[in-house]
Structure 1
């Protein structure tokens, strides 16, 4: 009888939900877009399948707001969207917007601008990293190597950690580019010339490892990834010169491996496949390293290497294959068991951000094209393509049946039925 009543109640709730209500999964944290590359930090969306078409009849724009430039991806929960921007080349701004309408709920700002080296000027002098959200607080990485904690309800600044002042390190030449990672009561950031574990309530640094000295060839571009290898949790961290596994409790370096790259351009977020780690670098190639552990400690072996070079885009891994946008602006599929390329396309834009439901890949091209792709190792299967922006370097976000696109000068929300 209890099961029958529960089923009846569930059916009544579903009947009462308005047709255009976002289809949010049972777990609000998993269905929200809380950090760089989504809830699991690997580009996978939760609890819903991507649409079969990107046509205007199928995928409709709900609202759009104009903003100043930013490379930060939007953060989304059940009722609001958090975005960043750099105004007038001097102030960093964080806004909370109503998810349904785009109306501003609060705004917080601080002085936070710098000039990047001339050869990176084409990629702008504005805020770069995507914030992280724990359900109550928003952690924002400012370009001048500061981490700011904001109350998500009010926008009140709760604490600020200036790594340059705190640690006496150099201002990073390219700014704070690595996106924060929240695990339990701590925030992990590649800032202050290394990897830091920060108490998320107080802003106090617990430890710092992987000292890279900061400056022109220090300060990571890549963002840390949390995974289990051989049954043990660890942070997978890529600096400008190496790939490493770090114990999240005490900061112990479990293993490390040099990664060749032109001017230290190890940019993408490394990804785990089984007990192996996949990465790819500009000027280096693509690599799969397999970890193992015995009585003497951790071991790392190069499973294979491939001449294919990524740039800024991070991979999507589906059924033993890595789908990756490359330095030469092409999109490729790599068999992770063999290291062989399955196929490679003709060129697109300079950067892609990708999400997947495990069957299809939704990619936002830097030129503003939205692409829907069937994940097939046999061939490149482009289902649909639609122009939705002029220029976009921020990571796309998907929550429920809504897509959030942060173009360089605006934020747009699209919904499919």
Structure 2
């Protein structure tokens, strides 16, 4: 009886906190304020509309801008487009006008980062817009909070030196999650029991640190259990459910492999189930969970094992680009959510990421090609396609108010994809 009363108290308290602060998944329709959109699942707001077809040359460019290096996609809210890139020896957060691409302000700090693998020396994490604040997590582990209106740097923490965290193969790459007044970061400070750390959004103060888990490249997501906010997070070797208030670990199950592997796709939470996927022989798992533990529904390595494309679930069907960026082929697949059974596949589709909006899909491929289509019973019906970059395009796309934002290592482009383009 005492436990029940405490749960009711926690639900009430967190509901009040989230309502007052206005953080979490309460973005205005059409916004893309964080990685993978309003709810971190690759699905746009319900009133986001897309054209049914593009001109022969592709969707029209509204504006474009020269940018520095990095694989971080942009975050968008209202007229603010938040760009996180590296210019020479500085990591830079810059706010641009969604209408014109003109810079409103920028703030920078020095870096000497160079990755263990590959040549990309810029930031990997999509910045997070949380009310009047912007949170950015750099490739060298520098966590920064900035005033959205003025560009004033409010606080900064070097997580690598503070917690003894390691950079990983490509640098720090797990986009933080803002939930209530907490910034949750997959830090990976194993030796200091700081695998996952919660910081105060207001001050940067450490509120709690838990686990000895190394970090992944997967972004944590917010979910609800018994009406209470929780965090579903994939680390280097595990998937865990945690209480954001105190870091209490509700459950965990193994997910990952030792050796030269990474977990890159975000978990997809669907009510009291979670879907996770990874390449490198790890595969995919669909798991039912509650406060007290988890139970596997199905597992597969052969049917789905995606390197970093977060699957999109619509009407109990899983859509994913399966395979790896660095080792072709990569196939577009549709699976049954309840069984994991493969329903159809388009071989040699090309690796990339997916966005769902207005009953359609945008497939943004690493090759620089973008496809607009509808998913049918046996295939993706392509409505339009265009090669929008002649270079490698790994940064995650953003979709907001009829505009699609894409970037490579030197250029950010804003395209009109709304009806009547």
Aligned residue in 1 for 2:55: 55
- Is 1:145–1:172's contact at 8 Å kept on the other side of the alignment? no
Tell me the CA shift for residue 31 of structure 1. 2.3
1:168 and 1:375, CA in 2 relative to 1: closer, same or farther beyond 3 A? same
Tell me the CA shift for residue 230 of structure 1. 5.4
Between stretches 90-99 and 250-259, larger displacement belongs to 90-99
Aligned residue in 2 for 1:21: none
- How far apart, in 1, do the equivalents of 2:312 and 2:225 lie? 18
- How far apart, in 1, do the equivalents of 2:270 and 2:167 lie? 35
- Is 2:176–2:185's contact at 8 Å kept on the other side of the alignment? yes
Is 2:421 the partner of 1:398? no
Aligned residue in 1 for 2:192: none
Aligned residue in 2 for 1:104: 103
1:377 and 1:273, CA in 2 relative to 1: closer, same or farther beyond 3 A? farther
- Is 1:403–1:413's contact at 8 Å kept on the other side of the alignment? yes
- How far apart, in 1, do the equivalents of 2:103 and 2:162 lie? 33
Aligned residue in 2 for 1:266: 263
- How far apart, in 2, do the equivalents of 1:58 and 1:35 lie? 26
Query: Deviation per CA, 1:227-253, whole angstroms, max 9, x where unpaired?
Result: 124544321100111111111121111
1:166 and 1:379, CA in 2 relative to 1: closer, same or farther beyond 3 A? same
- Number of residues of Structure 1 aligned to a counterpart in Structure 2: 377
- Is 1:279–1:288's contact at 8 Å kept on the other side of the alignment? yes
Tell me which of 293, 298, 307 is aligned to 1:304: 298
Aligned residue in 1 for 2:197: 196
Tell me the CA shift for residue 106 of structure 1. 1.3
Tell me the CA shift for residue 210 of structure 1. 2.8
- Is 2:75–2:129's contact at 8 Å kept on the other side of the alignment? yes
Between stretches 392-401 and 49-58, larger displacement belongs to 49-58
Aligned residue in 1 for 2:276: 279
Aligned ranges 1:2-401 → 2 under 5 Å: 29-46=28-45, 47-55=47-55, 59-88=59-88, 90-117=89-116, 120-121=117-118, 124-193=120-189, 194-212=195-213, 218-229=214-225, 231-261=227-257, 263-282=260-279, 283-293=281-291, 298-306=292-300, 307=302, 308-327=304-323, 328-350=329-351, 352-357=352-357, 359-390=359-390, 391-401=392-402
Tell me the CA shift for residue 192 of structure 1. 4.5
Where does structure 2 lack aligned partners over 5 or more consecutive residues? 1-25, 190-194, 324-328
Query: Deviation per CA, 1:24-62, whole angstroms, max 9, x where unpaired?
Result: xxx863422110111111111111222211325883211
Tell me the CA shift for residue 102 of structure 1. 1.1
- How far apart, in 1, do the equivalents of 2:166 and 2:339 lie? 42
- Is 1:185–1:200's contact at 8 Å kept on the other side of the alignment? yes
1:292 and 1:80, CA in 2 relative to 1: closer, same or farther beyond 3 A? closer
1:249 and 1:32, CA in 2 relative to 1: closer, same or farther beyond 3 A? same
- How far apart, in 2, do the equivalents of 1:84 and 1:169 lie? 22
Aligned residue in 1 for 2:5: none
Tell me the CA shift for residue 67 of structure 1. 0.9
Query: Deviation per CA, 1:127-154, whole angstroms, max 9, x where unpaired?
Result: 1111101131110111111111111122
1:182 and 1:357, CA in 2 relative to 1: closer, same or farther beyond 3 A? same
SS in 2 for 1:166: helix
- How far apart, in 2, do the equivalents of 1:347 and 1:331 lie? 8
Tell me the CA shift for residue 397 of structure 1. 0.8
Tell me the CA shift for residue 256 of structure 1. 0.6
- Is 2:118–2:170's contact at 8 Å kept on the other side of the alignment? no
- Is 2:95–2:106's contact at 8 Å kept on the other side of the alignment? yes
Where does structure 1 lack aligned partners over 5 or more consecutive residues? 1-26, 213-217
Aligned residue in 2 for 1:17: none
User: What TM-score do you get using the length of structure 2 for normalisation?
Assistant: 0.85
Query: Deviation per CA, 1:346-402, whole angstroms, max 9, x where unpaired?
Result: 22334x222112621112111111111213343232222111112211111111111
C-alpha RMSD of matched pairs (Å):
1.9
Tell me the CA shift for residue 77 of structure 1. 1.8
Tell me the CA shift for residue 205 of structure 1. 1.2
Tell me the CA shift for residue 414 of structure 1. 1.1
- Is 1:353–1:394's contact at 8 Å kept on the other side of the alignment? no
- How far apart, in 2, do the equivalents of 1:239 and 1:367 lie? 28
- How far apart, in 2, do the equivalents of 1:155 and 1:59 lie? 32
